[in-house]
Amino acid sequence: MNGFFERNWMYVAIAAALALAVHAATLVGLPDAAMARALDMLAADGGYNTLTHAPRADANSRKIVRPSPDLLYSACPFDLDKAHGALRVYARVPRGTYWSVSVFDAHTDNIFVENNRQARGGKVDFVIVGPKSGLIDGGAAHAPPQVYSPTTKGLVLFRTLIDDEANLPGIDAARRQASCGTYSDGGM
């Protein structure tokens, strides 16, 4: 056995290097490719920088992942280049049920999350800025908090728990008041 490695050390080294390169490419490239596909699928429904509200999940709901039938989902695939560098996200938090908003960059990294217990004043209001736009002047009293995205594309995902079937119409109405759009100093 020892003679095998002495005779074939170069082939073993090449195979190991190739395996390492494929492994690294998979770790780096697969999340980016999966997110790019997901963003394109979601943007096909309403475009980039637009919030869309998915119907309640059922056994056939498998667009991206296996969604929970106890949650309502709203999504805003974003492209900061198309939003002139900044995207404003605003939502009132439904009362009496679990609710969250998450922001993911193009590498599938979660860069921001806030839930109903953390939201101050029963709402969330923030601006996503990216590598090309940088931070906006936060000196203005009316400027909302900023979330930095290391990529120009990503996803804002809202989840709302349907805690009781009787509350479904109110929960659905509340989530449809959320917005996601190009930011300007004067508002959305």
Q: What is the DSSP letter of 165?
A: G
DSSP string spanning 88-133? EEEEEPPTTS-EEEEEEETTS-EEEEEETTT-GGGEEEEEEE-TTT
Name every residue whose Cβ is closer than 8 Å to that of residue 113 and which is 6 or more positions away in sequence: 100, 101, 102, 103
The pTM is what? 0.83
pLDDT at 176: 95
What would the pLDDT profile of 121-167 be if each residue is shown by its tens digit?
A: 899 999 999 988 766 665 556 678 999 999 999 999 999 999 999 99
Which is nearest to 155 in space by CA: 92, 187, 113, 94? 113
pLDDT at 4 over 80: no
CATH code, domain with 176: 2.60.40.1610
- Please tell me the total count of domains within the chain: 1
